[in-house]
Structures are given as structure tokens and as C-alpha cells.
Structure 1
Amino acid sequence: MDHELAPEVSELRRTVRAFLERKSSEADVRRIVDGGLRRDDDVWRQMAGQLGLQGLLVPESFGGQGTSFVEMEVVLEELGRSLLPAPFLSSAVLAVSALTAAGDDGVSADLLPALAEGRSTATVAFSEGFVCRPGESTVVARRAGSGWVLDGRVDAVLDGASADTLLVVAPTENGLGLFAVGPDRNGVTHTELAVLDPTRPMAAIDFHAAGARRVGGDFTDGQRWLLALGAAAVSAELAGATQKVLETAVEYARLREQFGKQIGSFQAVKHLCADIFVTAESALSVARHAARTAAYDPSGLAEAASLAKAYSSEACALAAEQNIQVHGGIGFTWEHPAHLYLRRAKSGELLFGDSAHHRGVLAGLLGLTAVPAQRHAPRALAHEEAGV
């Protein structure tokens, strides 16, 4: 697959990378994570005010840039590469996309400008498909007078404890609905979860007759599309993280010496670096293919996103493990950043479905069905039955 970028998209990627190299170094990431912070507020404001990143997917009529997912994909690559701790995926990608998919101009006018300017954040609580586990949400919506209330629990919500607005997908008496729960959060409690990736906080959310505002009409197709977009977004982050993994592995193989030779001259290390290179390039290719499909052929997004996620979920985690092997003993230490990329890869592996889940989705989309394996008779018995 061709994954070359248009000149203006390449320039966006270079600009974002230069910004993040200044603002989200390893020391900056550790300062935020070790300090129990969710983001650097100054960096968040600069991302919105100077670069307009939070508004990339927001339509111009609501104060955003109105760009396509192609531009967003390269930003996600760079965010994955830098491991920036910030609610970008939850707010600027998932929440913005949920609001635009719902097509409710009134709610969009209330929420999208603030999201684009970085003045507030939002996240999505899915009714299914976020962690692909049975019963991950028990939330139901019911009418109460002229409004709606929500009851139940969502097991995992990305940035659920810090978002100003919760966009909750919940069943109603006729189909799925999307509901906005404001910052006052009456009837809402959250429990922060212990997570593998410290740069990506999550929370379980409980709703107890929580008042909510309905956004648009039936959201069944909207959630299906949003889950595919989320899989494509995580694939882009994993592709960017794996590019950084490749760079660090090759750099260390050039610098580290054993027995008077660079370890990169040893065949075993060469093979590890070559394997990481193949993974990095392949992950980049499928992620950018999914982004182009989201932008120019939305009807094919489910297949392209599952292709990207089926590959990156498994391969990128393996590449992060191979990077630790290249680094040897130092790669296992807390002080070295290799484990941070492994944590991001392993957590990204599970969000929006792992490789097995998306292979199943692809099989369904392609009309494939599993054929039970046939039991073969032992060779001697087969010969006997044949009269041999």
C-alpha cells in the first residue's frame, strides 16, 4: 500500500513533531505521570491555540478546521510517538466525531466550539465495543418528564474521571441513543481504574437517575461507525509509537558495544531490528490506508479499520518487546523509556478489539465462515480400510 503523504500533510506532521519534541519529551511525560497529573494545561492550550489540533475534525461552522481524518491520522501518529499524556483521543477524536455523527446542530453549537478551542474536554462511554467484553455497559436511558435519565454502569471510559462532558451511548425503548451529561454530573460517580498505560487514564462510571440531554436520533449506526474510527485512531497511535521504537532500537544497536564491536553487527540483533522495521512500515501503511478510507470512502471504514487493528494490535506489541530485547538488561528498568512504549502497545492492543476480534470482523465482512477440522484416521488404519 502507498502511504506517502501530500505536501501539506507532511508539513503538518513536521510541525506537530517539532512541537512535541519540545513539549513532550520523556522527562515531560514522566513529570506528568509521576506527579499524578492528567495533562500539562499549558501544552493543551498551545495545541489548541497555536496549532488548532483539537479542532481538526470540528466543522468550520462550529469553529474548527474542518479537515479530514487524513490530517488527524498523522497527528495521532506523532502523539503515539511522543506518548503525550492528554485527553486528545477521547475528546478531539471520539467525542467530536460522535457529535458530528449525531447531526444535532443545537448540541454541536453548544459543545464543539469549546472543544475546538481546548476550553473543555469530552469523552464517549460506549454501550459495547470499547473493550469488547460482554456486559461492559449496563446503562439504559429512560424518559423522565420532558427529559431523560440514565441508570447503570460503564466498566471503562477513556478519561472518564476528568472529562467535562460525558457522551453516553445507551439503549432506549427504540434503538440506541447518544446522551450528553454535563459537568455538574448529578447522579454520576466515577472510580478511577488501575491501568497498564499510565499516560492513558480510565474510569468506571456509575449513573443513578442522572439527568441527560439527548443528542440527535437513533445512534446505532453512529456507534458502529465510531467504533471503527476509534480502531483506526488507535492503529495510527500504535504506528507512530512503533516508529519511535524502531528509532531507539537502531540507535542503541549502533552505540552499544560488546566484545569491542557494535551490537548492531551481531546477526541476532540485526534480525530483531529488521523485524521491527517491517512491523513499523506495515503498521504505518495499514493505518494510513484506514485514514484515507475514513476520509474518502466511509462505507469501507469497517473493513479498513479492522485490517489496521488486526495487524497493529499484535505486531506493534511484539515490536515493543523486541526493542527491549535489543536493549538487553537496561530495557527492563523503570528508568528506561522502553517499557512505556510496551505499555502503550499492550493497552492499545485491547482498545476497540484485539487481533482475534478484528480478524473475526473481517471474516464476517468478507463472508467467510470457519470449517470444522476433519479428524483423519491413523495412516495404518487408512491403509487397512483401503485394502492395502
Structure 2
Amino acid sequence: MNLVLTEEQRELRGTVRSFLATASPLPDVRRAAESESGYDPAVYRRLNGELGLAGLIVPQEYGGAGAGYAELAIVLEETGAALLPGPFLATTLATILLTELGDKELLPDIAAGTTVATVALDGDRALNGAEADVVLMVDGARVRAVRGGGRTPLTTLDPTRRQARVEAVAGEAVASSEAGMARVRDLFAVAVAAEQLGVLRAALDAIVAYSRIRVAFGRLIGSYQGVKHKLADMHCKLEQAESIVRNAAWAADE
């Protein structure tokens, strides 16, 4: 087991981090989240066109890069840290499902960034359900692809994470496997954990930066032992979380 990033993985992290810092800084994230679509389609097109991230884990024979879950975890950590709004996570989950056990017909368009897909897991609610071209409706071990149908936007706590209720209409069966769906659910957990690791890292960075400029009782709050100890505790939790995510992504690949 190797939890240290390779040179290629560090380059991937740096490329994605630099792109998001330039194309989707936090002020733009706020504006996009408050817009009608909830995200900036131009950023999403560049994310897929210039970096090819929609096809990162899609096998090469279907137009993707054929990368592993270790690389996907790196990318999701960066999109989480940047609070990237839009359907990237939703499409990633759909890609995981299709790559692992579903019909591969949709993968080339997903890899090209021309099809937005999402998953409704044991219910009728889906991340970015209103924006998705295809919703993979999961009912136990059975999966069907639904195009069109009614999509009712829902109010969410996180404005960067829009949801919609998808009308139950007939769709094309694309998978049916209890064992396969069990693995897919585990892989969904790895993907979400990687994204949340990025959120944790960005939150700690923001708090540390604030502690260096906020003055209370004539002193920077970062100079107080109570604040230092809390920051140290958060740093330790971040290090533990990073090890857990790296291990989970390695296990998914192995």
C-alpha cells in the first residue's frame, strides 16, 4: 500500500487546483450558485474540454482516460475544496455506476462532456436532477436510465448542491446486479469522502488565515493557546481523513 501521491498524481492535483482557482474562485461560485442554472456551464465545458475530467475513470475504449479511483479522489478533493457547483459529482456517480456494471452505451457522451447524468438512489430524488440529461434510477439491484419526464426542483441546504424530484416514468434497463450495486455504493462513499476531504482542508485553511488577521483584546487570535490547540486538533483530523481517503481509493483500485 502506498498512500503517497506519485509525481503524475501531484501534477494532476496541481493542474485541477490551478484551473479552479482561476476559472471558479469563490466570488464566482456564489454568483453561479444563485443563478437560475445553479452553476456556470462555461466552467463545466472547460472542465471537461480542457481537462477531460468527465471521462477521467471512463475506460479508454469508450473515450475516457481510463484512470483509477486514486486519481478520481484527487480531483474530487480539489472540486470539494473549491466548492465547485454544478453536476460534476452527480455525473461522476453515474459514471461509476455505468463503468462498474451498467450498459456502456452512455459512456462516450459522458466522457465527451456532452451528456450530464446523475443517480437517483432508491428513491426519486437526484443530485442535479433538473440539469441532467439522463437519470439512472436505482431500485435495489435494478437500474434504469430515464430521459425526460417531470423534474421538480427541491430546496436544498447547500446552494451548490441542487436536487430535483424525478417523475417515475418508464426507462431503459441498464443494469441488474446485487453484488455489483454493493460495490457501486462503496465506491460512491469513496467519491463523496474524497470531496468532503477537500471541504475540510479548505475550511481549515480559511480558519488559519483568519486567525492571522483577526485581533481580539489587542492580540491576533492565532496567538492564543486555546485557538492554537483547536487548530492543531483540526489539523490532526485532516491528516487522519486524508489517510483514510487515500487508503479507500487504493482499495477501490486494488
Give SS of 1:166's match: strand
* Counterpart contact for 2:76–2:195, Cα < 8 Å: yes
2:182 maps to what in 1?
Answer: 224
Larger radius of gyration: 1
Distance 1:165 1:21 in 2: 29
Counterpart code for 2:109: A
Counterpart code for 1:215: V
Distance 1:103 1:35 in 2: 34
1:15 maps to what in 2?
Answer: 15
Give SS of 1:236's match: helix
Report whether the alignment pairs 1:214 with 2:183. Answer: no
Distance 1:291 1:158 in 2: 22
1:306 maps to what in 2?
Answer: none
Counterpart code for 2:128: D
Report whether the alignment pairs 1:168 with 2:137. Answer: yes
2:40 maps to what in 1?
Answer: 40
Distance 2:102 2:45 in 1: 27
1:258 maps to what in 2?
Answer: 216
Q: 1:254 to 1:3 in 2, by over 3 A?
A: farther
- Give how far 1:121 is off: 0.5
Say which structure, 1 or 2, has more relative contact order (CA 8 Å, 6+ apart): 2
Aligned length: 254
Deviation track 1:353-382 (CA, whole Å, cap 9, x = no partner) reads xxxxxxxxxxxxxxxxxxxxxxxxxxxxxx
* Counterpart contact for 2:29–2:39, Cα < 8 Å: no
Deviation track 1:81-126 (CA, whole Å, cap 9, x = no partner) reads 00000211111x211111122253xxx23x1111111111111112
Structure 1: where are the runs of 5+ without partners?
128-136, 138-153, 297-388
* Counterpart contact for 1:48–1:118, Cα < 8 Å: yes
Q: 1:164 to 1:277 in 2, by over 3 A?
A: same
Q: TM-score, normalised by structure 2?
A: 0.95
Match of 1:236 among 194, 199, 220: 194
1:331 maps to what in 2?
Answer: none
Q: What is the percent sequence identity of the aligned residues? A: 42
Deviation track 1:250-276 (CA, whole Å, cap 9, x = no partner) reads 111112222332111111111221121
Distance 2:145 2:238 in 1: 38
1:332 maps to what in 2?
Answer: none
1:381 maps to what in 2?
Answer: none
Give SS of 2:212's match: helix
Give SS of 1:255's match: coil
1:77 maps to what in 2?
Answer: 77
Distance 2:88 2:55 in 1: 11
Q: 1:192 to 1:285 in 2, by over 3 A?
A: same
Counterpart code for 2:252: A
2:162 maps to what in 1?
Answer: 201
Structure 2: where are the runs of 5+ without partners?
none
* Counterpart contact for 1:2–1:285, Cα < 8 Å: no
Q: TM-score, normalised by structure 1?
A: 0.63
- Give how far 1:191 is off: 2.1
Deviation track 1:4-46 (CA, whole Å, cap 9, x = no partner) reads 2011001100000000000111111111112232321111111
- Give how far 1:2 is off: 6.2
Counterpart code for 2:209: E
1:122 maps to what in 2?
Answer: 117
Match of 1:179 among 136, 139, 144: 144
Give SS of 2:167's match: strand
Distance 1:67 1:120 in 2: 20
Q: 1:157 to 1:103 in 2, by over 3 A?
A: closer
1:63 maps to what in 2?
Answer: 63
Counterpart code for 2:17: R
Distance 2:100 2:142 in 1: 12
Distance 1:114 1:292 in 2: 27
* Counterpart contact for 1:3–1:284, Cα < 8 Å: no
Tell me how large the CA RMSD over aligned residues is.
1.6
* Counterpart contact for 1:87–1:121, Cα < 8 Å: yes
Distance 1:222 1:2 in 2: 26
